């Protein structure tokens, strides 16, 4: 479960989902196990992600940071998840679940070439888009808000974005980045624009 002072959300029944697809964002070594930006507490959501994918048995898409050695994002963040390094690889615990892989070079999955292909070629196969991973207030938030605005712009009323709080997490640094506060802010931001935020999908 995302670190929250209070769980504000209700569970969602898996049987209520319509043609779901699961996006698993940035569950890579560079955010979970090693490197300048990792927080091992993010591993605490892995079991919930496994249960979700076991329960749904649907298509999933793993989205992973995959940066060239020189990239503009490194002006804002320390170097991380460089192409060809172990940091850019999906964590071992989730490897058996990977059905499709998309590489990205920015915080926002929506701008990745692989996701643009998904929108064009595969989006019509699904209705409910479940998004889990890290970090709640960065990669998850930007992806969710951009995708939600895209659906709104095109009046795509047959689609719903669902974010289970037990499947997302952000990093914590005392006095710098409070995971409890940022998880709350990010989830409430998503909820405020019409995204379905739930405690879990069961």
DSSP string for 133-190: EE-IIIIIHHHHHHHHHHHHHTT-TT-EEEEEGGGEE---BTTTB-HHHHHHHHHHHH
Please tell me the predicted confidence (pLDDT) of residue 78. Answer: 87
Which residue from 53, 134, 45 is spatially nearest to 98, judged by alpha carbons? 53
Alpha carbons 130 and 143: distance in angstroms, whole number: 12
Contact call for residues 136 and 187 (beta carbons, < 8 A): yes
- Alpha-carbon distance of 196 to 198, in angstroms, equals 6
The CATH topology of domain 14-198 is: Rossmann fold (3.40.50)
What tens digit of pLDDT does each residue of 93-111 get?
999 999 999 999 999 999 9
Helix axes 141-153 and 179-192, enclosed angle (nearest 10): 0
Is there a contact between 93 and 129 (Cβ–Cβ < 8 Å)? no
CB 37 within 8 A of CB 78: yes
State the pLDDT at residue 8: 86
Domain ranges of the chain: 14-198
Residue 46, pLDDT score: 98
Tell me the backbone φ, ψ of residue 38, rounded to 5 degrees.
Answer: -85, 155
Closest CA to 194 of 161, 159, 153: 161
Q: What are phi and psi of 91, to 5 degrees?
A: -60, 145
> Angle at the Cα of 144 (from 140 to 147), degrees rounded to 5?
140
**How confident is the model at residue 84, as a pLDDT?**
95
End-to-end Cα distance, the chain = 14
**Residues of the chain falling short of pLDDT 70:** none
Say what the pLDDT of residue 173 is.
86
């Amino acid at each position: 479960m995302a670190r929250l002072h209070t769980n504000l959300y209700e569970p969602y029944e898996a049987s209520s989902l319509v043609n779901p697809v699961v996006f698993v964002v940035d569950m890579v070594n560079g955010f979970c196990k090693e490197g300048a930006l990792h927080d091992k507490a993010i591993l605490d959501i892995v079991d919930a992600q496994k249960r979700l994918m076991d329960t749904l048995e649907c298509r999933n898409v793993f989205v992973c940071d995959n940066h060239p050695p020189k990239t503009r994002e490194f002006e804002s963040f320390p170097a991380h998840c460089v192409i060809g390094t172990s940091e850019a690889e999906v964590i071992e615990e989730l490897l058996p679940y990977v059905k499709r892989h998309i590489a990205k070079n920015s915080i926002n999955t929506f701008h990745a070439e692989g996701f643009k292909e998904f929108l064009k070629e595969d989006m019509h196969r699904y209705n409910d888009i479940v998004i889990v991973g890290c970090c709640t207030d960065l990669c998850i938030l930007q992806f969710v808000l951009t995708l939600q605005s895209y659906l709104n712009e095109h009046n795509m009323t047959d689609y719903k974005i669902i974010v289970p709080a037990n499947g997302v997490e952000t990093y914590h640094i005392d006095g710098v980045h409070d995971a409890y506060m940022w998880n709350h802010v990010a989830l409430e931001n998503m909820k405020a624009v019409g995204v379905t935020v739930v405690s879990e999908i069961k």
